[in-house]
Amino acid sequence: MFTDLPKYVFLTGKGGVGKTSLACATAVSLADAGKKVLLVSTDPASNVGQVFGVEIGNHITPIATVPGLSALEIDPEGAAAEYRERIVGPMRGVLPEKALKGIEEQLSGACTTEIAAFDEFTALLTDDAVTTSYDHIIFDTAPTGHTIRMLKLPGAWSGFLESGGDASCLGPLTGLEQSRARYAAAVDSLSDGVRTRLILVTRPRASSLTEAARTSRELADIGIGNQHLAINGLMPDKDLGDDLAAALIKRDTAAIDGMDSHLAALPQSRFALRPENLVGLAALRRVNAPVALERAAPRTAVRDLPPLSAVVDGIEAAGNGLVMTMGKGGVGKTTIAAAIAVELAARGHEVLLTTTDPAAHLTETLAGDVPNLSVSRIDPAAETAAYSDHILATKGASLDAQGRAMLEEDLRSPCTEEIAVFQAFSKVIREAGRKFVVMDTAPTGHTLLLLDATGSYHRDVLRHAGEQASHMTTPMMRLQDADKTKVLIVTLAETTPVLEAAHLQDDLRRAGIEPYGWVVNASLAATGTTHPILAARAASEAPEIASVRENLATRYAVVPMQAKDPVGAARLRALVRPEPVLV
């Protein structure tokens, strides 16, 4: 495992990279070495209790099977709910109901959840009785650089909001004034390289490594420099004659060789892809052990995994309309959007594919012109810069230096890019009345609700329309019309991505948008792999696919993991109608 760890260790990374598994394995390794260790999880998808086979919850719980180890699971959603009520409760009966709903929505996003979780674990960092009781405190999931920067800004958050400042992420800070000194101490601890190390956990994938590089630079810019890179889930060197395994080994190597130079310069640890889920002490203690490849893979027929063609058939029936792919980064939204667009075009429909992906990537994916298909590309950086400049020139014009600094920080939030890109997307939505528009990278439900609640677009249009409002259709209204818009949630057949996709679905439903279906992408269960590790991983997908089928989706499709990149119209269409396989 990791060596020479300081007192505080934070593991961070996007969902599904294995933060919790590595955090638990690190904690067990330290405890086995005779250290007193506290493992704290603030991950919404935390399964620390399941890993150790005990119920933990929001209180420090000794792990009886590991002397010296205790654990604590902070429920970020519960913390966020309590935090919202502390802010909104005193306003009930004072402000109009519409105003309260706007405030509640402002406090419903990821920023509020993260800040509320930060509120919980800073108590640990600043509680001498707790900190002196342990040699190491391991945090599963660290705050982002954006949140830390906000907490370092000067006070008067409430005054800024009361003066008319619009905020997507500053709103959650309205209740923090009384805790500012405690947060300052916690931020100092995070920045102290002697006391703290931040471990960036990633998969050997280009998208995951790019995200890790962005996070690393963002944290370094605010003084958190004691960083370590953990590349998790590396394929073994031997492909054993399996085409898929050979392709994945090649992909891992290319991604690592092409990683950002800043990221490549960090100290590194690498962990192999294992055939088992890291649940139970024996599995955790095998994290660094060699992986045995001798076992023969079982071969059983794959049944009842519906192809993407069934979903496309339903979309096609309308004759035209808007199709949106949504999901967390790295799940393959762009590829699925391109596959659907190419398939609809091949069936003779006029299709516009619009995306925020870099143009070169999309051009490589399509590998040439496709009849009936046109492409619209939106540059998120340019759209965000233009939107931010507009907000600073209008709402920021009358602010003092402190208020302007807060507004500038707020404009660095993820919501800003979503809002800016959505406004650009809105210009092409109207084309869905006469053709199919397939839209990649859509705003989250929280952002859509924030737009609606603040009047940034939807209500502004209706307010200025006057008597014509009843005859108008705004972009928000079109998204809520299930006959005109089909939203597809894209995920992977893994615990954390499925849970994150379920949260996205909840957000969309709050915004009045009912997803049309789910796409489980890059599934090993839908391939013919005979590699023992991949076959074992394929078997572990079964409960996640069952959860999507039985509990989450009204309709769903499963797209196989590809041995070759889906480049060109033929391979993209093959994603829609894959050949039957054995595992």
Return the domain boundaries, the chain: 8-141+177-284, 308-382+433-576
Positions of E strands within 242-350: 268-272, 321-326
pLDDT tens digits, 349-377: 999 998 876 544 666 667 678 899 998 88
Q: How far apart are the first and last CA of the chain?
A: 33
Sheet holding 373-377, edge to edge: 373-377, 351-355, 436-440, 321-326, 485-492, 517-523, 556-560
pLDDT band, residue 469 (cuts 50/70/90): very low
pLDDT band, residue 582 (cuts 50/70/90): very low
8 Å CB contact between 111 and 77: no
**Section 84-97 average pLDDT:** 79
DSSP string, 396-427: TTT--HHHHHHHHHHTTSHHHHHHHHHHHHHH
Mean pLDDT of the chain: 81
Q: Residue 363: how many CB atoms within 10 A of its CB?
A: 13
Top mean-pLDDT range of 20-29, 133-142, 190-199, 468-477? 20-29
Q: For position 295, what pLDDT does the model report?
A: 52
Closest CA to 495 of 15, 122, 148, 159: 15
Q: For position 320, what pLDDT does the model report?
A: 95
Could you give the 3-state DSSP secondary structure of residue 23? helix
Residue 581 to residue 560: CA distance in whole angstroms: 10
Regarding predicted confidence, which is higher, 279 or 504? 504
pLDDT tens digits, 217-275: 888 887 888 999 999 999 988 899 888 999 999 999 999 999 999 999 999 999 999 88
Could you give the 3-state DSSP secondary structure of residue 323? strand
Residue 445 scores a pLDDT above 80: no
pLDDT band, residue 163 (cuts 50/70/90): very low
The CATH architecture of the domain made up of 8-141+177-284 is: 3-Layer(aba) Sandwich (3.40)
Do the domains at 8-141+177-284 and 308-382+433-576 have one common CATH topology? yes
Q: For position 32, what pLDDT does the model report?
A: 95
Strands 227-234 and 136-140: unpaired
Range with the poorest average pLDDT among 146-160, 251-265, 542-556: 146-160
Range with the poorest average pLDDT among 31-35, 188-192, 342-346: 188-192
pTM summary value: 0.76
Residue in the block written with tokens 């009912």 = 514
State in words which class domain 308-382+433-576 has.
alpha beta
**Section 489-511 average pLDDT:** 88
Q: For position 134, what pLDDT does the model report?
A: 94
Residue in the block written with tokens 């509020």 = 112
Residue 357 to residue 360: CA distance in whole angstroms: 8
Residue in the block written with tokens 């390289």 = 193
Q: For position 160, what pLDDT does the model report?
A: 43
Closest CA to 488 of 351, 341, 290, 294: 341
Residue 440 to residue 338: CA distance in whole angstroms: 8
Q: For position 120, what pLDDT does the model report?
A: 76
Tokens of 364: 């490589």
Percent share of the chain, pLDDT over 70: 80
The catalytic residues are 16, 18-21, 43, 496
Regarding predicted confidence, which is higher, 171 or 222? 222
Residue type, 124: L
Q: For position 71, what pLDDT does the model report?
A: 93
8 Å CB contact between 120 and 39: no
Which DSSP category does 493 fall into?
S
Residue 133, phi then psi, degrees to nearest 5:
-85, -15
No. of H helices and E strands in the chain?
26, 15
Residue 375 to residue 353: CA distance in whole angstroms: 5
pLDDT tens digits, 296-332: 445 444 567 999 999 999 999 999 999 999 988 778 8
